[in-house]
Amino acid sequence: MLQPPGFSQRSVLTKLGSMVYYTAEGELWPAADSLGSGQQNPDQQTLDQQTLKQQTLVFLHGFGGGSSAYEWSKVYPAFAAEYRVLAPDLIGWGRSDHPVRNYQINDYTDTIIEFLEKTCEGPTPVIASSLTAAFSIRAAIQRPELFKSLILTTPAGLSDFGENYTRSLFAQVVSTPILDRLLYSAGVATSFGIQGFLEQRQFARPERIYPEIVEAYLQSAQQPNAEYAALAFVRGDLCFDLAQYMPQLTVPTAIIWGQKSQFTGPEIGRRLANLNPQAVRFFQQLEDVGLTPQLELPAVTIGLIRRFLLALDA
């Protein structure tokens, strides 16, 4: 998948396989100890540098045909001069391993926890999208000490408040053996299929989709065995009712929700947020935006993340 200048690829071994992640390295992003202007009080400058060295931001992509860390690639470089940025491809997606298995919810909640344990020191702000954001809420309930804060775009379990996604016609069709892989190879893992998915599922305005986005999603969708995680998602194997978990959340949280998000509109988001106003401190609706504001309006998303990082840390 495409990666921004100044970022390199690393990996960490998890129970499900090797998990690739992207992090800033090299001359483009100098180390924290070279960032001082020389005009600060020396003691304050040392303190600021130590703080910078300790701060990590983790960006977790959502699910869909060809998803990967590319989803956040227009956002996370904006934080590389200030934070240690980690943007993984989740297992089954992007350049990470694609084990042949029937993926379940615990596969992803456990992997999120394992990734944080192996790559971060102390509580870490986690920024996550869509279904993965919902998984992150469950992970934060299990292991709150790993999470400093959550900043989530459109967190939804896709079966919230008793809705049953698996009853949809598309989910039932994709559950048909043999036909499911045929539909994936012919209808998802193609430029036409990716373009259609982005237009119908993720973006409010099709004109905001440019060729690089389609190419990045296509590269991920065409990885060997990429269909296993993708089909588990579209079949509904990974869906759950997030409303049952929201009251248990204790980690400070901010939610960003695209007003034109397909299947899960902002009214669902507000209902979820209202289940736990002590933890969910901010709910920001974005007009004329779909499921992934980080791709559709990255500059606005960067501004909101900066605002919420400060506010949730107060």
- CATH at residue 158: 3.40.50.1820
% of the chain beyond a pLDDT of 70: 86
**pLDDT surpasses 70 at 170:** no
More confident residue, 314 or 233: 233
Going by pLDDT thresholds of 50, 70 and 90, the confidence category of residue 169 is low
Residue 2 lies in a domain: no
Residue 26 has a pLDDT of 79
- pLDDT higher than threshold 50 for residue 217: yes
Average pLDDT over residues 79-88: 96
The pLDDT mean for the chain works out to 89
Is 66 among the domain residues? yes
Q: How many domains does the chain have?
A: 1
Phi, psi of 27 (to 5 degrees): -70, -25
- pLDDT category of residue 29 using cuts at 50, 70 and 90: confident
- pLDDT for residue 166 is more than 70: no
pLDDT (0 to 100) of residue 1: 67
Check residues 79 and 169 and name the one with the higher pLDDT.
79
Average pLDDT over residues 293-312: 97
Is residue 76 situated within a structural domain? yes
Top-confidence residue, 215 or 31: 215
Quick check: 105 and 245 in contact, CB under 8 A? no
Q: Is residue 177 part of a domain?
A: yes
Question: Within a domain: residue 108?
Answer: yes
Q: Count Cα neighbours of 95 within 13 Å in the Cβ-side half-sphere.
A: 16
Over residues 98-118, the mean pLDDT reads 97
More confident residue, 221 or 54: 221
The helix (H) or strand (E) run that includes residue 267 is: helix 266-274
Q: Which amino acid is at 295?
A: L
The pLDDT score that the predictor gives to residue 36 is: 45
Q: How high is the pLDDT of residue 87? A: 98
Residues 6+ apart with CB under 8 A from 40: 48
Q: Which domain holds residue 79?
A: 8-313
Question: Residue 1 domain-assigned?
Answer: no
Is residue 235 scored above 90 in pLDDT?
A: no
Strand stretches in the chain, DSSP E: 7-14, 17-24, 56-60, 84-88, 124-129, 147-153, 253-258, 280-286
Q: What are the Cα distances from residue 198, in Å, to 125, 217, 245, 300?
A: 28, 9, 29, 19
Q: How confident is the model at residue 258 (pLDDT cuts 50, 70, 90)?
A: very high
> Which pLDDT score, from 0 to 100, does residue 48 have?
44
Q: What's the confidence (pLDDT) of residue 162?
A: 85
Maximum distance among all alpha carbons in the chain? 67
The reported pLDDT for the residue numbered 39 is 46
pLDDT at position 86? 98
Average the pLDDT over each of 23-32, 62-71, 131-140, 249-258 and give the range with the smallest value.
23-32
pLDDT band at 201 (very low <50, low <70, confident <90, very high): confident
167 pLDDT more than 70: no
pLDDT (mean) for 295-300: 97
The pTM (predicted TM-score) of the whole model is 0.91
Closest CA relative to residue 25, chosen from 55, 51, 58, 3: 3
- Determine, yes or no, domain membership for 238: yes
Give the per-residue pLDDT at 163.
82
Q: Is residue 3 part of a domain?
A: no
| Confidence (pLDDT) at 31 | 60
Structure tokens at 178: 């043999």
Taking the C-alpha atoms of 294, 299, 304 and 305 in order, what is their torsion angle to the nearest 10 degrees? 60
